[in-house]
Amino acid sequence: MPKSLNAIAQKLMTPGQGILAADESEGTIGKRFDKINLPNTLELRRDYREMLFGATQAMQKYISGVILTEETLKQEAASGTPFRAILADADVIPGIKVDRGAFPMPGEAGEKITEGLDGLRQRLASYAELGAGFAKWRAVITINDIAPTRNNIRANAHSLARYAMLCQEAGIVPIVEPEVVGDGEPGNHSMERCAQVTGDVLENVFKELRLAGVDLAGMLLKPNMVLPGLNSRERPSVDEVARRTVAVLKEHVPAAVPGIAFLSGGQTDEEATAHLSAMNQISGKPWPLTFSYGRALQNVALRAWAGRRENFSIAREAFAHRAHMNSLAALGEWSNGVDRAA
Ligand code: 5MM
């Protein structure tokens, strides 16, 4: 492994910083824009990302890396400055989502398999030339009466490992994201079931990563937290979520992994922050924990922006606030009171 992979991973895990997931594919950003009655145009996608990345102070202080789509990695702000240059100026590492999406898996279980391995070696070489320091691939694991099947867990774990080895060969740090989804159908599973499935998935992912010869010191993990399904009536306390999540991770994630950056998975902004902070108050963990949130960092800023460049400043303030709160959470220093007072 080139020495720099571990150095990039460590930089992404800088204490008090985390990752902004701004890698919504065209379909996903379209759904976000729909909610605020905006059309999904190239210009609005550019403006939206320009609003986020131009929150200079927040980016410098709280954000270590941004996950981009291929469109954004190659795109310029309205001024003509490439987004990757804007990020580099703020000392933020540009990353790239390289999977091509999760597609229906053949079979009766309603599961998904992530695609994108064909031609990935060539794509990674071109992303490295554009300055991408890390990449991300998301596997989607469904829970229902018959899912996840062993076949689906193994297929997704195998793809994650093939992706990760190709990234390391290209000098790019792979973020490995096996997401056990909480907002799927029916989404009423218990926290216990989420814990068991998350553990099973992580066990298989690390088995495949080892088999593939992936250097664990040159990657990061992006997991879900252990939570009941979003349609479940179970309401665990913040401490319970933190305790169960850390327990599952400690059982299945090797200490050689330089860091864990969580996805928010449809939690409210405050829940995602509170859970991260509580986990960071638990001692004896071998890896640092931070955020790699999409929705939980962007929700408020997206609404404040509302598609208008004249709202950039107020939207950036909203983004800066969430980024600040999650920075505190990454240090285990967040509290409800601070969030409301700030
Ligand atoms: C931002 O959403 C990402 C891209 O999803 P699609 O490829 O489906 O458009 C997603 O991978 C994201 O990085 C993670 O799921 C974390 O986002 P959340 O919103 O769960 O924190």
The answer, yes or no, to whether any atom of ligand 1 lies below 6 A from the CB of 296, is yes
pLDDT in tens, 127-136: 999 999 999 9
**What is the rounded distance in angstroms from the CA atom of residue 286 to the CA atom of residue 306?**
41
- Is 177 one of the annotated active-site residues of the chain? yes
- pLDDT band, very low/low/confident/very high, at 105 (cuts 50, 70, 90): very high
**Ligand 1 atom at minimum distance from 21 CA:** 13
**What is the rounded distance in angstroms from the CA atom of residue 218 to the CA atom of residue 6?**
5
pLDDT of amino acid 3: 54
Give me the mean pLDDT over the 43-53 stretch: 98
* Cβ atoms of 77 and 61 closer than 8 Å: no
| Per-residue DSSP letter, 74 | T
Give me the mean pLDDT over the 11-27 stretch: 98
- pLDDT band, very low/low/confident/very high, at 91 (cuts 50, 70, 90): very high
186 cis-preceded (ω within 30 degrees of 0):
yes
Q: Which CATH number fits the domain that encloses residue 37?
A: 3.20.20.70
Test site for ligand 1: of 12, 19, 24, 32, most ligand atoms within 8 A of the Cβ:
24
* Cβ atoms of 202 and 155 closer than 8 Å: no
Q: Which residues span the domain enclosing 309?
A: 3-341
Checking if the pLDDT of 139 tops 90, the result is yes
Give me the mean pLDDT over the 199-225 stretch: 98
pLDDT of amino acid 76: 98
Checking if the pLDDT of 2 tops 60, the result is no
How far away, in angstroms, is 21 Cα from ligand 1 center?
Answer: 7
User: DSSP per residue over 203-222, as a string?
Assistant: HHHHHHHHHHT--GGG-EE-
pLDDT in tens, 160-210: 999 999 999 999 999 999 999 998 889 999 999 999 999 999 999 999 999
Any residues with CB less than 8 A from the CB of 66 and at least 6 apart, and which?
19, 20, 22, 52, 53, 59, 87, 92, 93, 94, 95
Checking if the pLDDT of 53 tops 60, the result is yes
Checking if the pLDDT of 159 tops 70, the result is yes
Q: Considering 177, 179, 234, 251, which one is annotated as catalytic?
A: 177
- Is 222 one of the annotated active-site residues of the chain? yes
Give me the mean pLDDT over the 11-32 stretch: 98
The answer, yes or no, to whether any atom of ligand 1 lies below 6 A from the CB of 269, is no
Least confident of 162-171, 261-270, 284-293, 333-342: 333-342
What is the domain count for the chain?
A: 1
Mean pLDDT of the chain: 97
Phi first, then psi: what are they for 36, rounded to 5°?
-115, 25
